[in-house]
A and B are shown apart, each in its own frame.
Chain A
Amino acid sequence: MDSVTLNNISKTYNKKKVLAVDNVSFSVGKGELFGLIGPDGAGKTSIFRMLTTLLLPDEGTASVDGLDIVKDYKTIRSRVGYMPGKFSLYQDLTVEENLNFFATIFDTSIEENYELIKDIYVQIEPFKTRRAGKLSGGMKQKLALCCALIHKPTVLFLDEPTTGVDAVSRKEFWEMLKRLKQQNITILVSTPYMDEATLCDRIALIQSGKILSIDTPEKIVEAYPGKLYAVKSEKMHQLLKDLQAFEFTGSCFAFGEHVHLSFKDDEKDHQPELLNYLEEHGHKHIELQQITPTIEDCFIKLLKS
């Protein structure tokens, strides 16, 4: 049985003037690590808040753990774990008091489920008498995760847990998630960072309340239409401008140290012409090679089509 199912869910705000979630359907299997990938304002938080029974959908139905999000909201609340994007623990309670509080309201104790949070909790245990409001960002994040896990939820919702977090801490966080997954907890995680998509079992790419694509990261990459090239030269900003002006360019955009380029068509190999063109425009040390698209390439492609 699927852990989470959404059927044609829509949500509007401001007297129907703002369409936040637009006819979204998907399901997440038991024990799956599922990523909702999209920029701010895409509708990720609205979806999470409906599934955690904090918001009512305008249209459509959804279930979590086989329970209806409207009718069975009380049971759902006792079963799921939710870590909101905004830090929402009690700032004036200590680390230990917060954890104890959440264990108690879910009718359990820290000892009962300690195994589940041990890996994460030992990292903040030295500070257990510190008030949550005085913790650093990374420690707040770990405490919030512990509090969301302390009642051994069947489904865990993590809303942008890595936003504003540096690259090293982001990696550590994802390693924690991988270990949690082994406990057979279904995890729904949202993120605006495209590079985190490959760490999920399946992902939904979302923009303006609509799902653009939904599949395993590998299959989304395989579905990329046409060929993609990475180009590099000594003058990168000029290179981008010149590539935009090249007659066979379909799309091109900066991508780290390269420009990613696709041609209008792949019937003919335009590479020799391109190299000539770039040399004529004074570029030196030109590198041009076909590459496998990343999820970000796929997202850009989907946004433009």
Chain B
Amino acid sequence: MDAPVIKTEKLSKRFGDFVAVNEISFEVAAGEIFGFLGANGAGKTTAMRMLCGLSIPTSGAASIAGFDVYKQTEKIKRNIGYMSQKFSLYEDLTVLENINFFGGIYGLTNSQLREKSEQLVTKLGLQKESKKLVGELPLGWKQKLAFSVAILHEPKIVFLDEPTGGVDPVTRRQFWDLIYDASDKGITIFVTTHYMDEAEYCNRVSMMVDGSIKVLDSPANLKKQFSANSMDEVFYELARGAKRSDN
């Protein structure tokens, strides 16, 4: 197996007396679809912010795409993609303007941008909408576009924070098709979700409870371990013992 693209060792973050993330250690391989699950307040967002180079850990070590989370945060940011349900694209820019804007920020040249934006628009079937304001698109389209923009610069890893929240069931599945495509191209997917059926689509999932990673395995093994019929049951079994609730 290739060197892991995400590697953490006893990574921790404290805010005063509060241990938001408590010594998490794990590795994610290139091209893997990794589900990062946990109850509200378990520490997922804080952990993710450290992995994205947005928050300096209190202790422990981690390297993202080969870069150190303490010293090389700018390099990390250039080598990852990020999208969340909340932070999306600029609603008052058109589809093409958004692509050009974000591509430009990530240092794509004009000719790369021309080529990439055409490919992207064709792939998503947005030819007719390319000059429309993003705000006018339905949510499902926005989320698919946001994901495609997040991987425009071909990052090694893309972090997805609840990318499918509130999206209709058909579009939600189309979104996962895009995830699989990206994974086939070798992009590592790091994804959080509240939909437990989506946990099944991950190669491996971890579950955080009260700042620690309680379990980490493939969905099939986790179900076996907890004698559960679904990931929903596994989640319930683990998370109901949580002392912390919420962010």
Binding site for B on A (CB under 8 A): 38-42, 136-139, 163-169, 171, 192, 194, 207, 236-237, 253-257, 296, 299-300, 303-304
> Which residues of the partner chain A approach B171 to less than 8 Å between Cβ atoms?
39
Query: Beyond the given A167-B39, A167-B196, could you list 11 further A-B residue pairs with CB under 8 A, ordered by the A residue number?
Result: A41-B138, A139-B246, A166-B40, A168-B240, A169-B39, A237-B180, A253-B173, A257-B200, A257-B231, A300-B169, A303-B169
Interface flag for B106 (CB, 8 Å): no
B contact residues around A237 at 8 Å (CB):
180
Residue of A42, A237, A299, A304 most packed against chain B (CB within 10 A): A237
Is residue B236 within 8 Å, beta carbon to beta carbon, of the partner chain? yes
B121 contacts partner chain A, Cβ-Cβ < 8 Å? no
Q: Which chain B residue lies CB-closest to A40? A: B166
Cβ of B186 within 8 Å of any chain A Cβ, yes or no, is no
Could you list some 23 contacts between A and B, CB below 8 A? A39-B166, A39-B167, A39-B171, A136-B41, A136-B245, A136-B247, A137-B246, A138-B40, A138-B245, A164-B194, A167-B194, A167-B196, A167-B239, A168-B239, A168-B242, A169-B39, A253-B173, A254-B176, A256-B196, A256-B230, A257-B230, A300-B170, A303-B169
Q: With A167-B194, A167-B232, A254-B201 in contact, is A40–B240 under 8 Å at CB? A: no
Contacts of A168 in B (CB 8 A): 39, 235-236, 239-240, 242
Which of A42, A166, A304 has its CB near the most chain B CB atoms (within 10 A)?
A166
Please name all residues of chain A whose beta carbon is closer than 8 Å to the beta carbon of B169 when the two chains form the complex.
Answer: 39, 194, 296, 299-300, 303
Name the A residues within 8 Å of B236 (CB-CB): 167-168, 171
- The answer, yes or no, to whether B216 is at the interface (CB within 8 Å) is no
B139 touches A41 (CB 8 A): yes
C-alpha gap A98/B166 in the complex (Å): 29
Give Cα A168 to B232, complex, Å: 9
Chain B contact residues, CB within 8 Å of chain A: 38-41, 85, 138-140, 162, 165-171, 173, 176, 180, 194, 196-197, 200-201, 219-220, 223, 230-232, 235-236, 239-240, 242, 245-247
Residues from chain B with a CB closer than 8 A to the CB of A38 are 168
Task: Knowing A40-B166, A257-B200, A304-B170, say if A169 contacts B40 (CB, 8 Å).
Answer: yes
- CB-nearest residue of chain A relative to B238? A168
Pick from B40, B140, B242: contact of A39, CB below 8 A. Answer: B140
Name the residue in A138, A171, A253, A256 with the highest tally of chain B Cβ atoms < 10 Å from its Cβ.
Answer: A256
Set of chain A residues within 8 Å of B247, measured between Cβ atoms: 136-137
A107: min CB distance to chain B, Å: 33
